[in-house]
Amino acid sequence: MKKNIFYLIIGFVALALLAIFWYAVENFTPVFFMIAFVIGVVLLYLVYRRVDDFIEDERSARITEKAAMRTLQVFWVCFCAFSIMAVMNLLYMPRFSREFWLGRRTEIIPPEIMSLKTIGYVQLGLLCLMIFLYVGFRFYYARKYGEWETDEE
């Protein structure tokens, strides 16, 4: 199988997963989407094994290694900063004034920085950021190490 056919299959699997995600959200069946996601990843792995025109040499292995390492180095900082903010938001304890304890109760509503739903969406966005970071670093290191150059003159 050719590499371009594999990329088309990735697109179709992504579209199918998007439709399944919508269905799972509308019908509140998250387990259905999780199972579909795992099946999609296994399907893509099985299809990937049938691709015969990927060329893997030392240079492309080095590019992949550098891009993956830089992606993790950048992503963990973003994810850790967001996670610290989310935990502090969830564990926020309001400070009660002296008037509250003396019986002159004033309603104290703790400020909510982000709702749990928003936190989940941001985490999905950070996962997309990780994919885009990897692709960006892959382009950068491919250009730096000359993966697209040919040895022929």
Model confidence pLDDT, tens digit, residues 58-69:
887 888 899 899
Q: Is the pLDDT of residue 109 over 60?
A: no
3-state SS class at 46: helix
Upper half-sphere CA count for residue 99 (Cβ side, 13 Å): 5
- In sequence order, which residues have a C-beta less than 8 Å from that of residue 23 and are 6 or more positions away? 29, 32, 33
pTM above 0.85, yes or no: no
Instruction: List alpha helices for the chain, DSSP H.
Output: 3-26, 30-48, 58-90, 98-101, 116-145
Provide the pLDDT for residue 1: 79
Q: Supply angle C-alpha 81, 115, 127, rounded to 5.
A: 45
Q: Contact 44/10 with Cβ under 8 angstroms?
A: yes
CA R_g for the chain: 23
Give residue-wise pLDDT tens across range 4-59.
577 678 878 888 887 888 788 878 888 999 999 999 999 999 999 998 867 778 88
Max CA-CA distance within the chain? Answer: 87
Across residues 118-124, what is the average pLDDT?
Answer: 76
